[in-house]
Amino acid sequence: MSYPPEWEPKGPRNGRSYEEELILGAEERRRAALAAAGKAAFDLVIRNVRLVNVFTSEIYPAHIGVAAGLVAAVFPGEAPVPVAKEVVDGAGRYAVPGLIDSHLHVESSMVLPPAFAAALVPRGVLTIIADPHEIANVMGLAGIRMFVDAGRGLPLDCFWQVPSCVPASPLETAGAAIGPDEVQELLSWPEMIALGEVMDFPGVIAQTGRTADILARAVALGAVIEGHAPNLTGRDLAAYVTAGVNSDHTLVTPELALERLRAGVTLQLQYKSLTPETLKTAEAAAKSLNLCLVTDDVLPDDLVSTGHLDHILRTAIQRGLSPVEAIRAATLAPARRMRLYDRGAIAPGLLAHIVLTPSLEEFRAELVFHRGRLVAQDGRLVVELPAYTVPEEALQTVRIAPPGPEDFVVPVRSSAATARVRVMALSRKTTYTAAEVHEVPVADGQLQWEAAGLCLAAVFERHGRTGTRGYGLLHQALERGAVASTWAHDSHNLLVVGRSASDMAAAARWVVERGGGMAAALDGQILAAVHLPVGGIVSPLPVEQVAEQVRAFRAALGQLGFTHPSPFMALGALTLAVSPELKVTDKGLVDVQEGRIVDLFVA
């Protein structure tokens, strides 16, 4: 299969191929072997550390010899310090492998890979295996190639997963579609090392349709296949795993965790699953490197204030997971899961991805070495990152005119004084919604949703493909004003939610005219906004600047009366047609349980 030139791999930035950037070859191993044998000096020795050995669960004094970007040898702490071009005193700090996140979406942090690396590397994260399905839903293969290119030449090794659900369902219009042929082509790219999370578990279990065909291609190619199986159990779980999907990162109870581990599933625990009970069960049952810590989604202000995988690691230890097991779940286990056999531990022949920290329980990266080079110290990057220019096409993805107040009028076919309508009742704790039926007044042939104390949720197809729009009603959301956003999972169409048609139009105009982002409006004025011009979902700015915008937007949501522990995800998931129970897309109101579009009005 061939693609337009702009989709093809771009040239390397540093004179080496992408494979050479990510995989050290025979010459490097020869040099490291000579140093290990004492026939050449090490490039670097990190002396006087307490080495965390994730192979044996030991912690012991050691010196680490590095040559050609590899750990060449590890010496006992009582041994003489070997000859090296450079010696760094570890001062008794713990030496742990560079952290590896095996399930995440860079787009959730609303920045491009270079800015993402600048935030992660000082925290000790040196490898990611990301699923770019958000940008793929907007731009298809061109978006994937953009992220791959932007991730090159960084002190963060960026590997990628092939998005398996673009679009996530046939009940929405995405900016692109990725089918079996595209998946097969993408899996041939050297930077693509897995099939991304397979969210359409009914299609996997039934073994029919596009998802089954995509999965069959990945299985035939021997790919690692990532799962997404919320609450799946019993024979359904068995069928899902038998079909070739053998990991799960969704919310699990201790019982679900044990069932997955017994089935040989790699359990990927994100923050919401880190309860003491689940961690106790997981540690007792996970005996085969099948327990990983992952982030999935981290918003920019959370990334700046609390951290990334380092935060997950600290939380897991604080809630009962033993420190060495937690370190292994964030290093060796994800490396083996993703077949990255050149990293994940501090041992001869592995990449010199090394983090020095004074405490495992309060994990904080004081010195960070990427391939034996110091890249971060005391929470700040000490190397320059390569520049990246965003392709012009990525800045032109909002292809609709701004909707006006008239576009938020809902006509009623009946002449009755009231209408019975389906309503999405937003959970106060999760991103799920409950399906309710409300009686709403009607006047002049229009639904009086503003007078009924409900929010209108309108979704406009913004990719320039169909021009479709869908409407739904929302309970327990905003008390006043409106918000608009092109950051709306998974197809990222224009979502507008509000209590006032005029405020909805004001918020939508701001977003459309600026090529994407989020805006909150009250009384016709913009209270706060987040500018996301790259694909309508990402900013070209550093994460700290985006975090400032996001913090202001959070405050504006509070001013509009929206109180939710995860307000961005709660709003962004209103369009997620694979998340229970009632959602809205550009095609209309979706009954997720039945997998079909339903009428707003109840007969």
- Asked if residues 246 and 223 have their Cβ atoms less than 8 Å apart, the reply is no
The mean pLDDT of 510-519, rounded to a whole number, is 98
Reduce the DSSP state of residue 333 to 3 states and report it: helix
The mean pLDDT of 378-396, rounded to a whole number, is 96
Strand partners, 591: 582, 596
Reduce the DSSP state of residue 501 to 3 states and report it: helix
- Tens of pLDDT, residues 63-84: 999 999 999 999 999 999 999 9
Structure tokens at 30: 């020869």
The mean pLDDT of 538-563, rounded to a whole number, is 97
Q: What is the pLDDT of residue 24?
A: 63
- Tens of pLDDT, residues 146-190: 999 999 999 999 999 999 999 988 899 999 999 999 999 999 999
Q: What is the pLDDT of residue 14?
A: 38
Q: What is the pLDDT of residue 448?
A: 95
Structure tokens at 142: 């061109």
- Asked if residues 135 and 535 have their Cβ atoms less than 8 Å apart, the reply is yes
Give one DSSP letter per residue of 173-220, joined into a string.
--S--B-HHHHHHHTTSTTEEEEEEE--HHHHHHT-HHHHHHHHHHHH
Torsion of CA 199, 205, 207, 209, to 10 degrees: -40
**1 has a pLDDT exceeding 80:** no
At residue 580 the predicted structure's pLDDT band, cuts being 50, 70 and 90, is confident
Residue 420 one-letter amino acid:
R
Strand partners, 596: 591
Residue linked to tokens 């907007």:
138
Distance (Å, whole) CA 452 – CA 448? 6
Strand partners, 159: 129
Distance (Å, whole) CA 477 – CA 54? 46
| Cβ partners under 8 Å of residue 594, min gap 6 | none
What is the location of CATH 3.20.20.140 in the chain? 98-342
Distance (Å, whole) CA 535 – CA 518? 13
Q: What is the pLDDT of residue 2?
A: 34
- Asked if residues 86 and 508 have their Cβ atoms less than 8 Å apart, the reply is no
Distance (Å, whole) CA 108 – CA 311? 16
Residue 111 is classified by DSSP as B
Q: Name the pairing type of β-strands 469-475 and 455-460.
A: antiparallel
Distance (Å, whole) CA 263 – CA 272? 22
**211 has a pLDDT exceeding 50:** yes
The residue among 105, 169, 176 whose CA lies nearest residue 139 is: 176
**6 has a pLDDT exceeding 70:** no
Structure tokens at 407: 């576009």
- Which residue has better confidence, 309 or 24? 309
Reported pTM? 0.93
| Cβ partners under 8 Å of residue 270, min gap 6 | 103, 249, 293, 294, 295, 296, 312
- Which residue has better confidence, 85 or 476? 85
Q: What is the pLDDT of residue 415?
A: 86
Q: What is the pLDDT of residue 55?
A: 98
- Tens of pLDDT, residues 235-257: 999 999 999 999 999 999 999 99
The mean pLDDT of 568-589, rounded to a whole number, is 93
For the domain made up of 98-342, the CATH class stated in words is: alpha beta
Reduce the DSSP state of residue 61 to 3 states and report it: strand
**4 has a pLDDT exceeding 60:** no
**597 has a pLDDT exceeding 50:** yes
Distance (Å, whole) CA 368 – CA 357? 9
At residue 371 the predicted structure's pLDDT band, cuts being 50, 70 and 90, is very high
Query: For the CA atoms of the chain, what is the radius of gyration?
Result: 25
Q: Identify the helix (H) or strand (E) that includes residue 557.
A: helix 543-559
**131 has a pLDDT exceeding 90:** yes
Distance (Å, whole) CA 171 – CA 173? 7
Q: What is the pLDDT of residue 373?
A: 98
At residue 224 the predicted structure's pLDDT band, cuts being 50, 70 and 90, is very high
The mean pLDDT of 460-487, rounded to a whole number, is 96
At residue 11 the predicted structure's pLDDT band, cuts being 50, 70 and 90, is very low
The mean pLDDT of 378-392, rounded to a whole number, is 96
At residue 23 the predicted structure's pLDDT band, cuts being 50, 70 and 90, is low
**9 has a pLDDT exceeding 50:** no
Distance (Å, whole) CA 484 – CA 459? 10
The mean pLDDT of 221-236, rounded to a whole number, is 95
Distance (Å, whole) CA 203 – CA 198? 9
Number of H helices, E strands in the chain: 18, 29
The mean pLDDT of 256-272, rounded to a whole number, is 97
The mean pLDDT of 395-399, rounded to a whole number, is 97
**432 has a pLDDT exceeding 90:** no
**538 has a pLDDT exceeding 90:** yes
Sign of CA dihedral 340, 343, 348, 351: positive
Torsion of CA 336, 338, 339, 341, to 10 degrees: -60
**209 has a pLDDT exceeding 80:** yes
| Cβ partners under 8 Å of residue 150, min gap 6 | 112, 113, 114, 388
- What's the chain's average pLDDT? 94
Q: What is the pLDDT of residue 545?
A: 98
The mean pLDDT of 423-448, rounded to a whole number, is 92
Cis before 490? omega within 30: yes
